[in-house]
Structure 1
Amino acid sequence: MATSSAFRFIAGTIYQELPAAVQDMAKRCLLDLVGTAIAGTQTPLSRTIRNHAIRAFGAGAGAPSARLMFDGRRASPVGAALAGGMTIDSFDAHDGHVLTKGHAGCAVLPALLAVAESIDVSGAEFLASLAVGYEIAIRAGISQHATAPDYHTSGSWNALGAAAIAARLWKLDENRFRHAIGIAEFHGPRSQMMRCIEFPTMLKDGSGWGAMGGISAAYLAEDGFTGAPAIVVEGDDVKSFWNDLGKEWRFLGMYFKPYPICRWAQPSVEAVLVLRRKHNILPQTIDHVEIDTFDAGVRLNQRRPETTEEAQYSLPFPVAAALVRGQLLPTDIAGASLVDTEILSMNDRIRPITVPEIDKLFPAERMARARIYLKDGTVFESELTTARGDAERPLSDAEIAAKYHSAADDIIGGEGAAFLRSTIETLDSARSVRGLLDLVLAPVDAQRNAVEG
């Protein structure tokens, strides 16, 4: 039974026995997620969901509690997991996995933080639990996409990774583990992802509910609540996705986003930036731009985004911003950039086109080709381009660090960001994870004040 092998995996994985590449990936993911969460705290979505967690999921007297990420206030562990997942998800710069068409980390890290508040674990155990949660979530996501007829949000499958982390740290037995992931699957938000893409709002990718559902499922299973077997783990048609668990690591296929937008738009941004830099193209010389890509990318069709959510789920707008600015930073999809007349004018001249030969490669490969037509009749065409950051075209450690600092420095201060980064990079040698928790779960102002003080 796949559940038995999954249980042995979650209960028996030891950090020191992990391949070096898995250890390194756990640290890369942790740093990237933390930077994304810091940036996310500045969004209206995050502020709203954190206040909601305090109001609706407050911990009663004597009940378990956990601090909210970069907030410091306490809620129940399920409330803290919800707020953390939505905060990371609010800033569309977090890691993902190609074959899941979604994101594991934005649920498994908040779930791990919520559980670790009440259990004093070592830094190595924290990283091992993070890797385990990712691996279970990713395989559940691959299984679901191979068998389910609809494209569901990530929360529908990353909830199993959150439940697995709690089961590991709470040392649930195999029977309770089986019920926990069954409950997590059943209650996971099987909401339609394309609705959120075509009508972008604060609903995002369901990962906050995945984190909350996973922790709640583990609590219920611990208390004897029963759940149906998780079909994405135990179904006869998904056995092949679990046979090599513990031997091969799907976790190593993670991608990291260089830009804070939907992954489906990133190849298009990359293609136009390559052309702009190679030919020194000035925005005022551009007549219009054609983007050949896959159908799901073309459906990112928010032409005049009024919110960051709409800009993150747009293809024309970030392409236009990149052409105008010569780069694409977090500030280019928010605030004043949303009403920048030069970007909006360029935005109206971006023409996405579905190309069947490119579309048939999706989701395993997400590619785009750009053609920039100048006003003098010159045409520049890019090669077929993939987004940087895929496993086959990874960002370097220096690029991951630079991305983290671009998100964190202005909010928690350069010295505070550097200290937090150092804490993450040396976490596997820490006897206790308390030092990290006190940084990641403190208000953002406390980070800057602690260093300045």
Structure 2
Amino acid sequence: MGATMSDSVIRAFAAWGADPGPGVDDAGIRHHAKRAVVDWYAALVPGAVESPATLMEVALAEDLDRGRATLALGRPASTRTAALINGTAAHTVEVDDIFKDAIYHPGAPTIAAALAVAQESAASAHDFLRAVIVGYEISTRIGAVLGRAHYRYWHNTGTVGAFGAAAAAAALYRLPAERFAHALATVATFAAGLQQAFRQDSMSKPLHAGRAAEAGILAAQLAREGVTGSSDVLDGEAGMGRAMSENADWSGAAATLGRDFHIARMTFKNHACCGHTFAPIDGALALAREMGIGADDIARISIATYAPALAVAGERSPSSAAEARFSLPFVVATALLHSSVRLAAFSPARLGDARIRALMERIDLDIDAQADARFPGQRSARVRIDTRDGRRGEYFQPHRKGDPELPLSDEDLSAKFRELAGPVLGEGAAAGLLAQLWALDAGVALPTLRNVPTA
């Protein structure tokens, strides 16, 4: 029968999740949780008015306009449907957070589930933030153990994200340790999301995050009613570690819970595209500034970075916004021509821009052995630019702006929120929501939007 519930790694996660101790109430840790929630809303709001979220509202109409949970703009929804659609929306425009050691976007599934359950159960903002922290801490550790080998075929936000959602939901439902463990055990067998699903133009990638959010809530609801799961589903002979990774070592996975908070080491995106492209973008912009050149001065650009960046974001001829977000040549060329990579970078006009396409043809991609060896803990790139007048410059970008080593400030996060949410909500509503988010730990109310018309 394998490990019993009393000696499994799932039991260790659940014991902490059900009673996480005083660390989760530390003011500094709670502030990091607020930063994650502000960033999640910055990703959620613009994604809510894009497909696939808009198409999901049509497809899932029977689950809308009823229930205690709400979609991004305030439309009532059943709990699991709200999590499904909001989790999808928060991952759609590629600006959601990253825990780099797990190659994973925790916010989209975890916060979507936490908010929906908190709304359903009329939880306080304090309990909502606590659940977010619990979901982040448990899921990021599972993702770190599964490691780079898991990322070869699986989309960690879909697989690992299911644990973040289940843990957050279990915390809000106040499941005792035994039932909390069954929620985690059950959601392990729901975990899915294939890399191949976004190696070409499709809407599958954000759906992975939404499905993880929905699956996590379902697993917690089932456990609440007494449905049991397999205690050794992570570390057993045919468990997740064996099936979906290589040499997964669970022995110390829960050792630092409550002492070392991963939510304090999040990466918050500074560009609206795949995070694997960020070090090349930052390095190319820095080198162009250092050399005092513009895009038209460039004869050739060479970018060397870690192998998964090229596997995931090596698209040479993107024909859609989805493909362009995963095209290193496109986003680097866009950054050099327009100084940034924001949502406007993926408009039809930019996708067909002849100057961008011409510069893309002058960009070479390669694997840097040192950068590859340091992945996933460090996301770096080497950039070389040759100019038309015969000069050459080289630059090493050790981290991405937004990584814990080069963090975005609170004001940076507020500016990101206003930039992304303002055009959808209107400046007044966006400012009001932002104020609610930064005040989450000072009051008892959850953030609210009630059927806000789009601007």
Q: What is the TM-score with the length of structure 2 in the denominator?
A: 0.89
Match for residue 46 of structure 2 among 35, 39, 42: 39
Deviations along 1:390-414, one digit per CA (max 9) or x if unpaired, are 1122112221221111111222122
SS of equivalent residue, structure 1 residue 251: helix
Q: For 2:110, give the aligned amino acid.
A: V
For structure 1, the 5+ residue unaligned runs are 449-453
Match for residue 298 of structure 2 among 264, 271, 286: 286
- Equivalent residues in 2 for 1:48-447, closer than 5 Å: 48-55=55-62, 57=63, 66-70=69-73, 72-145=74-147, 148=150, 150-153=152-155, 154-189=157-192, 191-193=193-195, 195-204=196-205, 206-229=208-231, 231-232=233-234, 237-299=249-311, 300-433=313-446, 436=447, 438-439=448-449, 442-445=450-453
Distance 1:147 1:377, change over 3 A: closer
Contact 1:39–1:91 (CA under 8 A) maintained in structure 2:
yes
| 2:245 counterpart residue number | none
Q: Distance in 2 between matches of 1:429 and 1:75?
A: 27
Deviations along 1:33-72, one digit per CA (max 9) or x if unpaired, are 10111121232222123333335x5588xxx5532222x3
Further displaced range: 257-266 or 273-282: 273-282
Contact 2:131–2:169 (CA under 8 A) maintained in structure 1:
no
Q: Distance in 2 between matches of 1:371 and 1:126?
A: 46
Distance 1:230 1:281, change over 3 A: farther
Distance 1:66 1:348, change over 3 A: same
| 1:6 counterpart residue number | 13
For structure 2, the 5+ residue unaligned runs are 1-6, 242-247
How far does residue 14 in structure 1 lie from its aligned partner after superposition?
A: 6.5
Deviations along 1:237-268, one digit per CA (max 9) or x if unpaired, are 30201112112212222111110111111000
Instruction: Say yes or no: does 1:26 pair with 2:39.
Output: no
Contact 1:53–1:83 (CA under 8 A) maintained in structure 2:
no
Q: Distance in 2 between matches of 1:241 and 1:179?
A: 18
How far does residue 146 in structure 1 lie from its aligned partner after superposition?
A: 7.0
Q: Distance in 2 between matches of 1:116 and 1:80?
A: 12
Q: Distance in 1 between matches of 2:23 and 2:376?
A: 34
Further displaced range: 389-398 or 258-267: 389-398
Q: For 1:222, give the aligned amino acid.
A: R
How far does residue 97 in structure 1 lie from its aligned partner after superposition?
A: 0.6
Distance 1:42 1:305, change over 3 A: farther
Further displaced range: 156-165 or 16-25: 16-25
Distance 1:283 1:308, change over 3 A: same
Contact 2:184–2:219 (CA under 8 A) maintained in structure 1:
yes
Q: Distance in 1 between matches of 2:170 and 2:108?
A: 18
Contact 2:47–2:89 (CA under 8 A) maintained in structure 1:
yes
Q: For 2:78, give the aligned amino acid.
A: S
How far does residue 139 in structure 1 lie from its aligned partner after superposition?
A: 1.3
How far does residue 233 in structure 1 lie from its aligned partner after superposition?
A: 7.1
